[in-house]
Amino acid sequence: MPDYKIRGTAPLRGSVLVQGAKNSVLPMLAACLLCSEKVQLSGVPQLSDVSNSLRIIEKLGCRVRRGVHTLEVDTQAVCYSTLTAEDCRKMRSSVLFLGPLLGRTGRAELYCPGGCVLGPRPIDLHIEALCKMGAEIEVTDERISAVCPDGLQGSEITLRYPSVGATENILMAACLAKGRTVLYNSAVEPEIGELIALLRAMGAFIEVGGGRVCIEGSERLHGCHRTVGADRIVAFTLMAAALVTDGEITLCNCPVQALQAPLRVLGDIGADISLCGEGLRIRRGTKIYPVNVSSAPYPGFPTDAGALLLTILSLASGRSRYEETVFSDRFAIAEQLRRLGADIEVKNNCAVINGVPQLCGGTVRATDLRAGAALIVAALGAQGESTVCGGEHILRGYEDIVGVFRSLGAEITEIN
């Protein structure tokens, strides 16, 4: 697995195309199981999480044809309903196969999902909702065994918390359930919108509005073609890199609408942001102003951008505060940033960041995907040489991060 060697402070300049979104494509791949025809996807990023999902899909009996950024998934021959422990532990999104498998085959055998360690990540909301739809599910410390001998039934479901994953599982299961499912307090992240667009293209009847999502179950769905939208967190990563290196980057196909809250925060920080013909251009203003920010479900500030924001604020001219409200243990990044000279104090779910004039090179370890990206960005803005270890986390969500940053003038190499 790679580590990265980075010599920092070269101002990053140039234009870059934002890759397709990991958090969109993973539920889309699970949704392919809902029909028994071919689903074609474009704009698919080359990520280890995508390869792992495809491995799962192939083991279930599907055929996959993969181009550079395209996929054709033929789910006609799905004949298994069991995922292996190893496949499930590689990523959180393995749990997204639960709803589609129940809908398609009437049963699902999974192991508890892995993924980034951000504190406890229960799946009670997924399980409760699917049980309400008629599934019988047994969950042990390790395994999830689900059956629905009479098929899934449409139901009225109110989520206690707008969980992204639970919303996705319910949406997919409801498409093949008998009757109407009405879902209240669902997540409204842009990636949910992308999943709904795919399901509609597959023939599903889904209405969104009035604070609820209504899904009219169908007997079968059909094949289709969709393009995966650009990744808002990767876009934010590139913007963070422009700011900490005092460079100027233009993001082509930037998902501006999906980035309203992060762009507001970057505006408060004093970033100079403008829309130009090609896309969104960003550079540092006169200085980085301190800010107070809390993460929240969409349309709030995304928890996945928290580690990157901490990195930017490490170089602010004053004291900032960042509160993490979605996951309980997302501040392992603080210890790593301190090794690069940042002044960050964490108390419970709050980080207080006293800006320093300069970060300095060091050896740090990615503890999860977004923390890994934040450390690469921090190292790009730090004086001297840094080594960022734990590249396996970064490969899960960033396609060719070395090539992308090099094309903008960064001194970064992959070492094994």
CB-nearer residue toward ligand UD1: 236 or 327: 327
Residue 236 engages ligand UD1 in binding (rule: CB under 6 A): no
Residue 110 engages ligand UD1 in binding (rule: CB under 6 A): no
CB-nearer residue toward ligand UD1: 64 or 296: 296
Q: Give the amino acid at 27.
A: P
Q: Do 78 and 72 form a contact (C-beta atoms < 8 A)?
A: no
Q: Do 191 and 163 form a contact (C-beta atoms < 8 A)?
A: no
Which part of the chain contacts ligand UD1 (CB under 6 A), choosing from 32-40, 116-124, 207-215, 263-271? 116-124
Per-residue contact string for residues 374-413; x = within reach of ligand UD1 by CB under 6 A:
----------------------------------------
Q: Which residues in the 62-91 window bind ligand UD1 by CB under 6 A?
A: none
Q: Give the amino acid at 373.
A: A
Q: Do 370 and 401 form a contact (C-beta atoms < 8 A)?
A: no
Q: Which residue has the tokens 């790009």?
A: 380
Give the shortest CB-225-to-ligand UD1 separation in angstroms.
Answer: 22
Which one of residues 38, 104, 126, 232 is an interface residue with ligand UD1 (CB under 6 A)?
Answer: 126
Q: Do 373 and 397 form a contact (C-beta atoms < 8 A)?
A: yes
Q: How far apart are CA 2 and CA 46, in angstroms?
A: 16
Give the shortest CB-366-to-ligand UD1 separation in angstroms.
Answer: 15
Per-residue contact string for residues 319-358; x = within reach of ligand UD1 by CB under 6 A:
-------xx-------------------------------
The yes-or-no answer on residue 252 being catalytic is no
Q: Euclidean distance between the first and final Cα of the chain, in Å?
A: 6
CB-nearer residue toward ligand UD1: 80 or 161: 161
Q: Which residues contact 221 (CB under 8 A, 6 or more apart)?
A: 34, 35, 175, 176, 199, 202, 203, 204
Q: How far apart are CA 272 and CA 13, in angstroms?
A: 14
Structure tokens at 288: 């980085």
Q: How far apart are CA 182 and CA 362, in angstroms?
A: 52
Which part of the chain contacts ligand UD1 (CB under 6 A), choosing from 99-107, 161-169, 173-181, 257-265? 161-169
Which part of the chain contacts ligand UD1 (CB under 6 A), choosing from 62-70, 124-132, 262-270, 281-289? 124-132
Q: Do 243 and 217 form a contact (C-beta atoms < 8 A)?
A: no
Residue 161 engages ligand UD1 in binding (rule: CB under 6 A): yes
Q: How far apart are CA 158 and CA 186, in angstroms?
A: 8
Q: How far apart are CA 174 and CA 24, in angstroms?
A: 19
Q: Do 6 and 363 form a contact (C-beta atoms < 8 A)?
A: no
Catalytic residue among 88, 112, 116, 224: 116
Q: How far apart are CA 172 and CA 350, in angstroms?
A: 35
CB-nearer residue toward ligand UD1: 139 or 356: 139
Which part of the chain contacts ligand UD1 (CB under 6 A), choosing from 7-15, 130-138, 164-172, 275-283? 164-172
Residue 164 engages ligand UD1 in binding (rule: CB under 6 A): yes
Residue 367 engages ligand UD1 in binding (rule: CB under 6 A): no
Residue 166 engages ligand UD1 in binding (rule: CB under 6 A): yes
Residues forming contacts to ligand UD1 in the complex (CB under 6 A) are 23, 26, 92-93, 121-126, 161, 163-166, 187, 189, 303-304, 326-327
